[in-house]
Amino acid sequence: NAGVMQNPRHLVRRRGQEARLRCSPMKGHSHVYWYRQLPEEGLKFMVYLQKENIIDESGMPKERFSAEFPKEGPSILRIQQVVRGDSAAYFCASSPDRGGYTFGSGTRLTVV
């Protein structure tokens, strides 16, 4: 079992470009969570998805951010028209049910 796989590990984007972050949950896990860690801060919840459904997006910024978890393939966190303030580490976690998270190693986004 490969664990939660996130790619890329590092992503550099210029202001105004789009960033696409991918997360493949552990085998058998149908619940995916995205968190953002800003420098010198803890992790903040962004969105919770099950296959083809967004369950809770209360932590997502209202504009430019979107997430999906299609029936086939990884979960995608998309950030359109990135700004410097989007620079952060983005972590994905998966679970088989409502407990027992496993985190990925994260994608570190740098906006230049």
Partner 1 sequence: AQSVTQLDSQVPVFEEAPVELRCNYSSSVSVYLFWYVQYPNQGLQLLLKYLSGSTLVKGINGFEAEFNKSQTSFHLRKPSVHISDTAEYFCAVSGFSGATNKLIFGTGTLLAVQP
- Distance of closest approach, residue 67 Cβ to partner 1, in angstroms: 14
The nearer residue to partner 1, 15 or 51, going by C-beta atoms, is 51
Q: Closer CB to partner 1, residue 1 or residue 72?
A: 1
Nearest distance from residue 25's CB to partner 1, in Å?
A: 14
Binding residues vs partner 1 (CB under 8 A): 31, 33, 35, 41-45, 48, 55-56, 58-59, 91, 95, 98-99, 101-106, 108
**Rounded distance between C-alpha atoms, residue 46 and residue 36, angstroms:** 7
Q: Which of 33, 25, 30, 50 is nearest to 96 (CA)?
A: 30
- Please, which residue, 16 or 31, has the CB nearer to partner 1? 31
Q: Which is nearer to partner 1, 66 or 103 (CB)?
A: 103
